[in-house]
Amino acid sequence: MNRSPVLTPAACMPWPVQNPFRMRPGLTHLDNADTPRLFLRDDLAPAYRAHKAHALDTHRAEALVGRTDPTILEAMAQLHEAETGVAAAPDLDALTLTLQEDFVVLRDGDTMTTECLSVCFPSNWRPREKHGLGFAAIHAPVADNQLLLAGANGIIDLAFRKRRMQRYVWLLTPSADLSQHPHAQRTRWEALANATPQELLAQTYFRVERQTTLPLPHLKAGVFFIRVMVCPLADVLACAPGRAGELREALASMSDAVVAYRGMEGVRGRLVVGLG
Protein backbone atom coordinates (compact mmCIF):
# COMPACT_ATOMS: atom_id res chain seq x y z
CA MET A 1 0.00 0.00 0.00
CA ASN A 2 1.14 3.53 -0.71
CA ARG A 3 1.37 5.11 2.73
CA SER A 4 2.51 8.53 1.62
CA PRO A 5 1.16 11.41 3.73
CA VAL A 6 -2.47 12.42 3.20
CA LEU A 7 -2.36 16.21 3.08
CA THR A 8 -5.41 18.46 2.93
CA PRO A 9 -4.89 21.44 0.58
CA ALA A 10 -4.06 24.55 2.59
CA ALA A 11 -7.03 26.45 1.15
CA CYS A 12 -9.36 23.82 2.62
CA MET A 13 -7.84 23.87 6.10
CA PRO A 14 -9.82 25.59 8.87
CA TRP A 15 -7.98 28.26 10.87
CA PRO A 16 -9.36 28.02 14.42
CA VAL A 17 -6.44 29.78 16.14
CA GLN A 18 -7.71 32.16 18.85
CA ASN A 19 -5.92 34.47 21.26
CA PRO A 20 -5.11 34.18 24.00
CA PHE A 21 -4.94 30.41 23.83
CA ARG A 22 -7.26 28.64 26.26
CA MET A 23 -8.50 25.08 26.59
CA ARG A 24 -12.17 25.85 26.01
CA PRO A 25 -15.26 23.94 24.86
CA GLY A 26 -15.61 26.12 21.75
CA LEU A 27 -18.91 24.55 20.68
CA THR A 28 -21.10 26.07 17.99
CA HIS A 29 -24.45 24.88 16.61
CA LEU A 30 -23.75 22.90 13.47
CA ASP A 31 -26.75 24.56 11.79
CA ASN A 32 -24.90 27.89 12.07
CA ALA A 33 -21.57 26.60 10.72
CA ASP A 34 -20.14 27.41 7.30
CA THR A 35 -20.48 23.71 6.49
CA PRO A 36 -23.57 22.51 8.36
CA ARG A 37 -22.87 18.82 7.83
CA LEU A 38 -21.73 16.08 10.15
CA PHE A 39 -19.50 14.56 7.50
CA LEU A 40 -16.87 16.05 5.20
CA ARG A 41 -16.04 14.04 2.11
CA ASP A 42 -13.51 15.08 -0.51
CA ASP A 43 -11.15 13.71 -3.15
CA LEU A 44 -8.87 12.32 -0.43
CA ALA A 45 -11.49 9.75 0.63
CA PRO A 46 -9.68 6.79 -1.04
CA ALA A 47 -6.46 7.69 0.75
CA TYR A 48 -8.25 7.94 4.10
CA ARG A 49 -9.78 4.53 3.45
CA ALA A 50 -6.39 3.03 2.63
CA HIS A 51 -4.83 4.39 5.82
CA LYS A 52 -7.75 3.14 7.88
CA ALA A 53 -7.45 -0.30 6.28
CA HIS A 54 -3.78 -0.33 7.24
CA ALA A 55 -4.71 0.52 10.84
CA LEU A 56 -7.19 -2.35 10.96
CA ASP A 57 -4.64 -4.74 9.46
CA THR A 58 -1.81 -3.79 11.81
CA HIS A 59 -3.43 -2.83 15.14
CA ARG A 60 -7.13 -3.59 14.94
CA ALA A 61 -7.52 -4.01 18.71
CA GLU A 62 -6.29 -0.46 19.20
CA ALA A 63 -8.42 1.10 16.44
CA LEU A 64 -11.77 -0.65 17.08
CA VAL A 65 -12.80 -0.94 20.70
CA GLY A 66 -16.16 -2.20 21.97
CA ARG A 67 -19.46 -2.80 20.16
CA THR A 68 -22.73 -0.94 19.83
CA ASP A 69 -26.38 -1.35 18.90
CA PRO A 70 -26.84 -2.00 15.13
CA THR A 71 -29.64 0.59 15.05
CA ILE A 72 -27.07 3.27 15.93
CA LEU A 73 -24.83 2.17 13.08
CA GLU A 74 -27.86 2.19 10.78
CA ALA A 75 -28.66 5.77 11.74
CA MET A 76 -25.06 6.80 11.03
CA ALA A 77 -25.04 5.04 7.64
CA GLN A 78 -28.31 6.68 6.60
CA LEU A 79 -27.09 10.16 7.55
CA HIS A 80 -23.78 9.65 5.77
CA GLU A 81 -25.52 8.63 2.55
CA ALA A 82 -27.97 11.53 2.83
CA GLU A 83 -25.16 14.08 3.26
CA THR A 84 -22.51 12.67 0.91
CA GLY A 85 -24.36 10.39 -1.51
CA VAL A 86 -22.03 7.54 -0.51
CA ALA A 87 -23.63 4.43 0.96
CA ALA A 88 -22.06 2.33 3.68
CA ALA A 89 -23.20 -0.95 5.14
CA PRO A 90 -24.44 -0.42 8.71
CA ASP A 91 -21.68 -2.37 10.40
CA LEU A 92 -18.62 -1.25 12.29
CA ASP A 93 -15.97 -2.24 9.74
CA ALA A 94 -17.83 -0.78 6.77
CA LEU A 95 -18.48 2.55 8.49
CA THR A 96 -14.90 2.73 9.72
CA LEU A 97 -13.57 2.36 6.19
CA THR A 98 -16.19 4.50 4.42
CA LEU A 99 -16.25 7.53 6.70
CA GLN A 100 -13.30 9.90 6.57
CA GLU A 101 -14.18 10.65 10.19
CA ASP A 102 -13.25 8.57 13.21
CA PHE A 103 -16.16 8.16 15.62
CA VAL A 104 -17.05 7.34 19.20
CA VAL A 105 -20.47 6.06 20.29
CA LEU A 106 -21.63 7.06 23.76
CA ARG A 107 -24.39 5.25 25.63
CA ASP A 108 -26.74 7.36 27.75
CA GLY A 109 -27.51 5.51 30.98
CA ASP A 110 -26.93 6.77 34.50
CA THR A 111 -24.13 8.73 32.85
CA MET A 112 -23.05 9.04 29.23
CA THR A 113 -20.05 6.79 28.65
CA THR A 114 -18.10 5.54 25.66
CA GLU A 115 -19.49 2.27 24.35
CA CYS A 116 -17.69 1.88 21.04
CA LEU A 117 -14.66 3.62 19.52
CA SER A 118 -13.58 3.55 15.87
CA VAL A 119 -10.46 5.69 16.03
CA CYS A 120 -7.74 5.02 13.46
CA PHE A 121 -6.20 8.51 13.66
CA PRO A 122 -5.80 9.46 17.35
CA SER A 123 -3.81 12.55 18.27
CA ASN A 124 -1.38 10.98 20.73
CA TRP A 125 -3.93 9.10 22.86
CA ARG A 126 -4.94 5.45 23.14
CA PRO A 127 -8.57 4.67 22.26
CA ARG A 128 -8.55 1.53 24.41
CA GLU A 129 -7.88 3.64 27.50
CA LYS A 130 -11.06 5.70 26.90
CA HIS A 131 -13.48 2.76 26.65
CA GLY A 132 -16.24 2.84 29.26
CA LEU A 133 -15.35 6.33 30.50
CA GLY A 134 -17.45 9.45 30.93
CA PHE A 135 -16.62 13.01 29.88
CA ALA A 136 -14.77 14.00 33.05
CA ALA A 137 -12.60 10.87 33.10
CA ILE A 138 -11.77 11.21 29.39
CA HIS A 139 -10.62 14.79 29.82
CA ALA A 140 -8.91 14.37 33.19
CA PRO A 141 -5.38 14.18 31.65
CA VAL A 142 -5.91 17.36 29.57
CA ALA A 143 -3.89 20.33 30.79
CA ASP A 144 -5.80 23.43 31.94
CA ASN A 145 -9.04 21.47 31.74
CA GLN A 146 -11.01 23.59 34.24
CA LEU A 147 -13.32 25.17 31.64
CA LEU A 148 -14.01 21.80 30.03
CA LEU A 149 -14.78 20.05 33.30
CA ALA A 150 -16.83 22.93 34.71
CA GLY A 151 -19.12 22.78 31.71
CA ALA A 152 -19.18 18.98 31.42
CA ASN A 153 -22.86 18.43 32.26
CA GLY A 154 -24.03 21.21 29.99
CA ILE A 155 -21.80 20.08 27.14
CA ILE A 156 -23.06 16.51 27.34
CA ASP A 157 -26.70 17.57 27.54
CA LEU A 158 -26.46 20.02 24.65
CA ALA A 159 -24.17 18.15 22.27
CA PHE A 160 -25.30 14.56 22.80
CA ARG A 161 -28.96 14.89 23.79
CA LYS A 162 -30.23 18.05 22.05
CA ARG A 163 -28.29 19.63 19.19
CA ARG A 164 -25.70 18.74 16.60
CA MET A 165 -22.61 20.72 17.52
CA GLN A 166 -19.19 21.46 16.07
CA ARG A 167 -15.81 22.45 17.45
CA TYR A 168 -12.23 22.60 16.20
CA VAL A 169 -9.03 21.56 17.93
CA TRP A 170 -5.68 22.51 16.39
CA LEU A 171 -2.21 21.15 17.01
CA LEU A 172 1.31 21.60 15.71
CA THR A 173 3.17 18.40 14.98
CA PRO A 174 6.43 17.35 13.28
CA SER A 175 4.63 14.40 11.65
CA ALA A 176 2.30 14.42 8.64
CA ASP A 177 0.81 11.05 9.60
CA LEU A 178 -2.95 10.90 10.13
CA SER A 179 -2.42 8.32 12.88
CA GLN A 180 -0.49 9.71 15.81
CA HIS A 181 -1.02 6.88 18.24
CA PRO A 182 1.42 7.18 21.16
CA HIS A 183 3.28 4.07 20.06
CA ALA A 184 3.25 4.73 16.31
CA GLN A 185 6.54 5.14 14.49
CA ARG A 186 6.62 8.75 13.40
CA THR A 187 8.72 11.90 13.56
CA ARG A 188 8.69 13.44 17.03
CA TRP A 189 9.79 16.84 18.30
CA GLU A 190 12.91 15.30 19.83
CA ALA A 191 14.21 14.57 16.34
CA LEU A 192 14.30 18.34 15.68
CA ALA A 193 16.25 19.25 18.81
CA ASN A 194 19.02 20.89 16.77
CA ALA A 195 16.87 22.56 14.13
CA THR A 196 17.00 26.33 13.77
CA PRO A 197 13.73 28.24 14.18
CA GLN A 198 13.27 28.47 10.42
CA GLU A 199 14.17 24.81 9.87
CA LEU A 200 11.70 23.90 12.59
CA LEU A 201 8.89 25.87 10.95
CA ALA A 202 9.62 24.24 7.60
CA GLN A 203 9.24 20.78 9.16
CA THR A 204 6.08 21.51 11.18
CA TYR A 205 2.55 20.49 10.20
CA PHE A 206 -0.75 22.10 11.15
CA ARG A 207 -3.20 19.45 12.35
CA VAL A 208 -6.89 20.18 12.86
CA GLU A 209 -9.62 18.01 14.28
CA ARG A 210 -13.12 18.98 13.19
CA GLN A 211 -15.31 17.45 15.88
CA THR A 212 -19.07 17.08 15.41
CA THR A 213 -21.76 15.52 17.56
CA LEU A 214 -24.94 13.61 16.75
CA PRO A 215 -27.58 13.27 19.48
CA LEU A 216 -29.67 10.10 19.24
CA PRO A 217 -31.97 10.50 22.26
CA HIS A 218 -34.51 8.01 20.92
CA LEU A 219 -31.72 5.39 21.04
CA LYS A 220 -30.32 6.61 24.37
CA ALA A 221 -27.03 7.38 22.64
CA GLY A 222 -24.90 10.02 20.98
CA VAL A 223 -22.04 9.93 18.48
CA PHE A 224 -18.85 12.00 18.43
CA PHE A 225 -17.14 12.35 15.02
CA ILE A 226 -13.50 13.40 14.51
CA ARG A 227 -12.28 14.48 11.09
CA VAL A 228 -8.49 14.86 11.07
CA MET A 229 -6.86 17.19 8.53
CA VAL A 230 -3.11 17.79 8.14
CA CYS A 231 -1.19 20.31 6.05
CA PRO A 232 2.34 21.79 6.06
CA LEU A 233 2.29 24.76 8.42
CA ALA A 234 4.07 27.04 5.94
CA ASP A 235 1.29 26.46 3.38
CA VAL A 236 -1.46 27.25 5.90
CA LEU A 237 0.29 30.43 7.04
CA ALA A 238 0.61 31.62 3.45
CA CYS A 239 -3.17 31.48 2.90
CA ALA A 240 -3.91 34.77 4.67
CA PRO A 241 -1.91 37.72 5.98
CA GLY A 242 -1.43 37.93 9.71
CA ARG A 243 -1.61 34.24 10.44
CA ALA A 244 2.01 33.94 11.52
CA GLY A 245 1.46 36.69 14.10
CA GLU A 246 -1.77 35.10 15.33
CA LEU A 247 -0.06 31.73 15.78
CA ARG A 248 2.94 33.34 17.45
CA GLU A 249 0.67 35.04 19.99
CA ALA A 250 -1.28 31.84 20.61
CA LEU A 251 1.90 29.84 21.25
CA ALA A 252 3.34 32.52 23.50
CA SER A 253 0.12 32.63 25.55
CA MET A 254 -0.01 28.87 26.16
CA SER A 255 0.55 27.90 29.76
CA ASP A 256 3.57 25.76 30.60
CA ALA A 257 1.14 22.96 31.48
CA VAL A 258 -0.39 22.99 27.99
CA VAL A 259 3.04 23.14 26.34
CA ALA A 260 4.12 20.12 28.38
CA TYR A 261 0.88 18.27 27.64
CA ARG A 262 1.51 18.75 23.92
CA GLY A 263 5.16 17.71 24.24
CA MET A 264 6.43 21.05 22.94
CA GLU A 265 8.71 22.15 25.79
CA GLY A 266 11.80 21.92 23.59
CA VAL A 267 10.34 23.68 20.55
CA ARG A 268 7.82 26.32 21.67
CA GLY A 269 10.47 29.02 22.10
CA ARG A 270 12.06 28.39 18.71
CA LEU A 271 8.68 28.30 16.98
CA VAL A 272 7.78 31.67 18.53
CA VAL A 273 11.09 33.11 17.31
CA GLY A 274 10.60 31.68 13.83
CA LEU A 275 7.11 33.14 13.56
CA GLY A 276 8.31 36.58 14.66
What local confidence, expressed as pLDDT, does residue 78 receive? 98
**pLDDT over 90 percentage in the chain:** 87
pLDDT digits (tens, 9 = 90+) for 61-79: 999 999 999 999 999 999 9
User: How confident is the model at residue 1, as a pLDDT?
Assistant: 43
pTM recorded for the entire structure: 0.96
Choose between 66 and 25: higher pLDDT: 66
In this model, does residue 149 exceed pLDDT 90?
no
pLDDT of residue 151: 85
Tell me the pLDDT tens digit for each residue of 40-62. Answer: 999 999 999 999 999 999 999 99
Q: What's the per-residue H, E or C state across the chain?
A: CCCCCCCCCHHHCCCCCCCCCCCCCCCEEHHHCCCCCCCCCCCCHHHHHHHHHHHHHHHHHHHEEECCCHHHHHHHHHHHHHHHCCCCCCCHHHHHHHCCCEEEEEEECCCEEEEEEECCCCECCCHHHHCCCEHHHHHCCCCCCHHHHHCHHHHHHHHHHHCCEEEEEEEEECCCCCCECCCCCCCCHHHHCCCCHHHHHHCCEEEEEEEEEEEEHHHCEEEEEEEEEEEEHHHHHCCCCCHHHHHHHHHHHCCHHHHHHCCCCCCHHHHHHHHC
pLDDT band at 183 (very low <50, low <70, confident <90, very high): confident
**According to the model, what pLDDT value does residue 96 have?**
98
Average pLDDT, the chain: 95
pLDDT band at 34; cut points 50, 70, 90: confident
Which pLDDT band holds residue 148 (cuts at 50, 70, 90)? confident
Ranges of each domain in the chain: 18-275
